[in-house]
Amino acid sequence: MHTVVVGTSGVTASDVLAVARGGARIELSGEAVAALAAAREIVDALAAKPEPVYGVSTGFGALATRHISQELRAQLQRNIVRSHAAGLGPRVEREVVRALMFLRLKTVCSGHTGVRPEVAQTMADVLNAGITPVVHEYGSLGCSGDLAPLSHCALTLMGEGEAEGPDGTVRPAGELLAEHGIAPVELREKEGLALLNGTDGMLGMLIMALDDLDRLYKSADITAALSLEALLGTDKVLAPELHAIRPHPGQGASAANMLAVLKGSELTGHHQDDAPRVQDAYSVRCAPQVAGAGRDTMAHARTVAERELASAVDNPVVLPDGRVESNGNFHGAPVAYVLDFLAIAAADLASIAERRTDRLLDKNRSHGLPPFLADDAGVDSGLMIAQYTQAALVSELKRLAVPASADSIPSSAMQEDHVSMGWSAARKLRTAVDNLTRVVAVELYAATRAIELREGLAPAPASRAVITAARAAGVQGPGPDRFLAPDLAAADAFVRDGRLVAAVEGVTGPLR
């Protein structure tokens, strides 16, 4: 099994994906253990002094003015975890919780949090055992960290609350730790706070969304090309020299992908046939511009994610000169903004895909295709209601594009009076990515059927490869009306698991 070694820095997006989605094991480097021990010495020295230090010997948030005596500090750390584990709603997905815990461990190992090495090792042991704390949908405002979600994870480290075992069964966390020989941690000064105070949930969901969207944007380039082909459109608008004079990188990449898919097609460029037209509709002609803008938004989001991965987000932090200083680095605004940007881009990509689908189904705009791609229009409804489903998904995506980060609700007796809502932005982006996958799947289903209905003209080799692979995957072709939901579900799975992209790249080589 793949192993990710966590040091004081250098964790990558690939490491996060390996742990969250691939179940990779985790090891702490000797460098990390040494940094943990050194930072802990600083915290212990401050804890022994009579002067109050925030997070070490005081209360938290609006209660930070109270100095806590030494005999109450262990109780304080337990209490902050218990009281902050206040989430409600549906359980968060296993991969999100694993990303959340791993990213918190990454920051702990930076040596800026003051957590003891044994606490960090317990975090790694819990992940390696396949134990997943039960984390709920609601509880984070995206400031002072993803507090409630991280608290539910910290509760598991203490042997309290509920967690899911490697067999998928939810049980008391203490039982699961005992079965795997993991001793619950007894938190000391600052450790409870350090386990809760990070942007790890929203960052983990950003990294996973970028992984999904990388595949989806390639998929959307493919389905746009298939629709252009089915509509007898021209591929001249995809010429590299046209995109070079408006040099947005994403636009050029999308145009290149579409051109690669269409290479060798006999269906493109029939503008002056029986139904002459000067130009294709915007939804066809401007596909690279819209998808390209989304790709460039993803590039910016990757930059933010990389910077956040290189960060040690905690409050207070232990500095190399021995100071323990308060700060505002836990504020989720940088991550929240790009999560919202991506949701906007996803909605627009879905919107243009739906317009192409509608054009394929309309006999007045499809240049010779039967109404709704039906076998016997009137007796058969064809794909009429598939477009309804796609339109409903697009409408939902537009609602999900409303920025969460534009909102703020004060909390903690007005001490925390401006928050990022980054966790909410991340949660709605996950839904948006799911729905975008379904929208692309419906376009795929319509475009492949339309291409097969164009008798006498050969599609591009890459298009033929897609049709062959899709039919083998249970995505059926033209014919009389049938129970349509299973076909659409098969198309969704074909896009979601990457088989669509793989089918094309088997002909064209890697897409951009």
| Active-site annotation holds for 54 | yes
Angle at which helix 422-453 crosses helix 333-361, to 10 degrees, equals 20
CA distances from 266 to 20, 99, 373, 452, 489 (A): 44, 47, 20, 13, 30
CA pair distance 177, 57, nearest whole angstrom: 29
CA pair distance 399, 432, nearest whole angstrom: 10
Return the beta strands (E) in 112-174 as ranges: 132-133, 136-138, 162-164, 170-172
Of 76, 101, 339, nearest to 189 (Cα)? 76
Of 235, 342, 345, nearest to 290 (Cα)? 345
Looking up tokens 């145009």, which residue turns up?
255
Looking up tokens 């000064």, which residue turns up?
189
Inter-residue contact 64 to 165 (CB < 8 Å): no
The pair of structure tokens assigned to 298 is 């993803």
Q: Which of 54, 217, 388, 445 is catalytic?
A: 54
C-alpha triplet 152, 18, 500: angle, nearest 5°? 115
- Residue 164's Cβ-count burial label (10 Å; 0-12, 13-18, 19+) is buried
Q: Which residues are catalytic?
A: 54
